[in-house]
Structure 1
Amino acid sequence: MRTDIAFKTQDGLTLAGWLFSPGTRGRSPTIVMAHGFSAVKEQYLDKYGEAFADAGFAVLIYDNRNFGASEGLPRQEVDPVLQVRDYRDAMTFAATLAQVDPLRIGVWGSSYSGGHVLQVAAYDRRVKCVVAQVPDISGSMDLRLAIRPDLLPGLFAAFEEDRAARYQGAGPVMLEVVNEDPKSDCALPGQDAYDFFVGSQKQRAPAWRNEVTLRSVEMLNEYEPGSVIDRISPTPLLMLVAKRDALTVTDLALKAYEQALQPKHLELLEGGHFDPYLSGFDQSSQYAIEWFAKHL
């Protein structure tokens, strides 16, 4: 059963989402989850919520601040540090619910939020189990792999100009998340990113908007979630890595996995970055269910 929920962050915003209940009596092991860079919960997180609830878990899913049904300004700005803090506030909220066992809470994240849950699990021992699907490992490397080296100085100059203008009261510079033209200036280049976001917007997520602030990309460049992966232990970590991931690239994820301590487990998924939500959903969700069932 799915119900609408809302909760307050410690800085006073209301984040909105869903609670999936397993239909069993008493308190249930619970999974807290949010989406990746610019995405909203309707972009296939409901499928995971349903699958996890069918397996006996309560599932709390919410839109990140500044996106979808959640509050926050400026709209369409991705702040990874605040999103990590919101995960922790979501856990605090979940622990107040009658159907949630506060001693059995796990976190799931994918792509950008896959990096977030690495950070959450590294610092918050309330997390009893973590699943990081196609996780972001290094924002600065993401940027350098996506943008030609000769274009980086111009991008950094644009960061500085935007920062100076916003300090004087100007609105944020915006850019597209995806664009079909491989030469365009967008946050997430590549045909697979365009197909996923635009396709899911048309089919199931009209609330998704194809824009983010330029500062979102500046903050991406400053974000290094893989740097704390060795601090997650002794919390059990499952990493789901796509074999042909061109966005949060496969080799970076595999290198980070080697730096993590036990207990840990790795599963390699067929396809690219967005296939776990689509053609690989049955496999990606089942791996997560088995890990949560074992450790929650």
Structure 2
Amino acid sequence: MREDIEFEAEGDVLRGWLYTPDNADGPVPTVVMAHGFSAVKEMYLDKYAEKFSDNGLAALVFDNRNFGESDGEPRYEIDPWQQVRDYRHAITYALTRDEVDGNHIGVWGSSYSGGHALTVGALDNRVDAIVSQVPLTDGYHNLRRLVRPDILDGFREQFDQDRLARFNGEEPQMVPVVSEDLLGDAALPTQDSYRWFTETEEERAPNWENKVTLRTVEMLGEYSPIDYVERISPTPLLMIVAENDQLAVADKAFETYEEAHEPKRLVTIDGGHFDAYVEKFEETSTPATDWFVEHLNR
């Protein structure tokens, strides 16, 4: 069963869905979920939540602040630390629901929010199990790998100009999330990013917008979940890494896994970043489901 939900978070209302098993006769373990960079919940999070619910778990899915159906200003700005706090607000809200077993809470994240799952799991002792799928683990490293040095230098100049403009009360500067022109000023300048976002918008998520604030790109370079991964233990951690991930680069994800302490498990898929959601859905959702069932039903 799926119910529309909303909850207050530092003055803004965040909106999403609560999935519960059809045969539940009391509170059940619950997974808290949000999407990655600029994505909205309609971009396949329903499929993961349905899988969890079909296996006896509740799933609380929400749109990130400033995106989708959630409130927040400025629109289309991603502050990673605000999103981490919003995961924690979502956990707090989950604990108020009669359907939720507050002693058995999992967090799931993918791509940018895969990094949030690591960070939240390290900082919030209410979390009992973590799944981090194709995660961004080092924003500075990622930017240097994705963006040509000359374009990155141009971004830095724009960051300074945008900071002054915003100080003077002007609207934030925007950049596309993706672009067909791989040499253009896109936040995610890869071919598979352009294809996945545009195709998924057309098929599933017409409310997705191809833009983020310029400051979003600056804050991406300042965010480093790998710095927190050693703190996760003894919370059980499952990482799912795409071996050919060129967006949330695979080598850094493997390095992050090595820095994590037990208990942990690594699952790899043969494919790229976005294969996790579609072509390899069963290969990502099944181990995630098994991990939560194993560790949240203790």
Q: Shared topology, TM-score over 0.5?
A: yes
Aligned AA for 1:78?
I
1:180 is displaced (CA, Å) by 1.1
Aligned twin of 1:13: 12
2:253 counterpart of 1:258 = no
| d(CA) in 2 for partners of 1:181, 1:151 | 13
| d(CA) in 1 for partners of 2:246, 2:96 | 40
SS of residue paired to 1:256: helix
SS of residue paired to 1:22: coil
C-alpha deviations, 1:165-215, integer Å up to 9, x for none?
000000000010001111111001111101111101001101100000000
Runs of at least 4 residues of structure 1 off by over 6 A?
none
Aligned twin of 2:48: 48
Aligned AA for 1:102?
G
2:117 counterpart of 1:131 = no
Aligned twin of 2:183: 183
| d(CA) in 1 for partners of 2:152, 2:90 | 36
1:142 is displaced (CA, Å) by 1.1
| d(CA) in 1 for partners of 2:201, 2:274 | 14
Aligned twin of 2:199: 199
1:147 is displaced (CA, Å) by 1.2
Q: What pairs up with 1:57-76 in 2 under 5 angstroms?
A: 57-76=57-76
Aligned twin of 1:80: 80
Aligned twin of 1:35: 35
1:283 is displaced (CA, Å) by 1.1
1:152 is displaced (CA, Å) by 2.4
- Unmatched tracts of structure 1, length 5 or more: none
Is the contact made by 2:147 and 2:189 (CA closer than 8 Å) also made in structure 1?
no
1:18 is displaced (CA, Å) by 0.3
Is the contact made by 2:43 and 2:205 (CA closer than 8 Å) also made in structure 1?
yes
Aligned AA for 1:16?
R
Aligned residue pair count: 295
Q: What pairs up with 1:152-167 in 2 under 5 angstroms?
A: 152-167=152-167
Aligned twin of 1:169: 169
- Unmatched tracts of structure 2, length 5 or more: none
1:153 is displaced (CA, Å) by 2.2
Identical counterparts, % of pairs: 55
C-alpha deviations, 1:77-109, integer Å up to 9, x for none?
011010000000000000110110000000000
Aligned twin of 1:114: 114
Is the contact made by 2:109 and 2:131 (CA closer than 8 Å) also made in structure 1?
yes
1:150 is displaced (CA, Å) by 2.9
Aligned AA for 1:12?
G
| d(CA) in 1 for partners of 2:153, 2:50 | 45
